[in-house]
Structures are given as C-alpha cells and as structure tokens.
Amino acid sequence: MGGALASFCALDLSVKWGSHKVQLITFGQPRVGNPAFAEYFNEQVPRTIRVTHENDIVPHLPPYFYYLGEWTYHHFAREVWLRETIVGNVVTRNETVCDCSGEDPTCSRSVYGRSVADHLEYYGVNLHADSRGTCQFVIGTSNSAYGDILQVDGAIILSRYPQERYPVESI
C-alpha cells in the first residue's frame, strides 16, 4: 500500500506547500478514490506518474466498474505501463504513456491483473523483502550525483537537481 499512502502524502503536501513543489511517482498503486477524488487529485498534484507493470494485480484493486459512474473507484491520471513483447528470441521492453483519463483501456486495464510477481519487480529491480526487517531502500549508482542524501524523520529527500540543496526548514 506504499503507492496509496504516498499519493495521500503528496496530496497533503501539495495542499500545504503548493503543487509546484510536489512530484509523485508510484509503482503498482491501487485505486484510492472515486472519479471526483481523481479529478481533485489531478488538479492538486499535477506532476504525478503512476507506473504499472504487465499484469500487476494491485493497480486492478479495488475493481473498476465503468457503469457505476461516480460510485466506482477510479485511478488519477498519467499512467506509464511497462510490458514486455517477445518475438522469437528477442525481448523488447516497452513503456506506454497512457491517456490522461486514469483508466485508459489500452494500457494496464487491457489485461487481467492477476500477477503478484509483476507487482514485486519494476524496471528489473526486485522489490520484495525475504523476511521482516530485510526491506532496504534501493539506491542505484545514478543517485550518487545527489551526494549526501538528506534524511528527515525517516523520510529520504532527494532534490530533482543535485546541485540544489534545501535546508530542512524549507521542506
């Protein structure tokens, strides 16, 4: 439920600090509200990307029922759908930037979301923990440009621009 919690946190920060300071990227996020909430979220946190992977089960929860209108759960906009295409011995990894409806029928909604394994791997990084206490924050070599990584009350803060440094009071 990390993506769901991160989206609520981003909404809270956006309302408090302004949308120009908040960016959100989630991986395998479930639906968290109805269409009215999704529209409000899109207005308040416009710099959002929801990454979904192949047949990941979590983005399909709770189920979407188009015929229920405002009574169904609905994703907010800007999905990027990751999938692989295999032709012979060639594996192609595809990223599809979906329409801004939040429920693009040609993206993750076009498949049955039944895979827990697809939820545990994004961009080739295995995201599961073997046992309690073994989950580690993944820091790739590309993040070395950020130098010291600021940690405030358990939150890890990276600037989009490594040369910028923010004092803790401004965050």
Place of tokens 């979906």: 98
**Which has the closest alpha carbon to 19: 46, 48, 49?**
46
Rounded to the nearest 5°, which phi and psi values hold at 44? -80, -35
> Residue 125: its pLDDT value, please?
80
pLDDT in tens, the chain (171 residues): 789 999 999 999 999 888 777 899 999 999 999 999 999 999 999 999 999 999 999 999 999 998 998 999 999 999 999 999 999 999 899 999 999 999 999 999 999 889 999 998 888 887 776 666 555 555 555 555 555 555 555 555 555 555 555 454 544
Say which amino acid occupies 40.
Y
3-state helix, strand, coil in the chain (%, to 5): 30, 25, 45
Q: Which neighbouring-strand residues pair with 84? A: 93
Of the options 3.40.50.1820, 2.40.100.10, 3.40.50.300, 3.30.9.10, the CATH number for the domain spanning 2-135: 3.40.50.1820
Q: What is the pLDDT of residues 73-88, one digit of tens each?
A: 999 999 999 999 999 9
| Cβ atoms 54, 111 nearer than 8 A | yes
CB atoms within 10 A of CB 17: 12
Half-sphere exposure of 46 (CA within 13 A, CB side): 5
Q: Where are the CATH 3.40.50.1820 domain residues in the chain?
A: 2-135
Kind of pairing between the strands at 155-157 and 24-27: unpaired
3-state helix/strand/coil string of 42-61: HHHCCCEEEEEECCECHHHC
Q: What is the pLDDT of residues 121-151, one digit of tens each?
A: 888 887 776 666 555 555 555 555 555 555 5
> Residue 131: its pLDDT value, please?
67
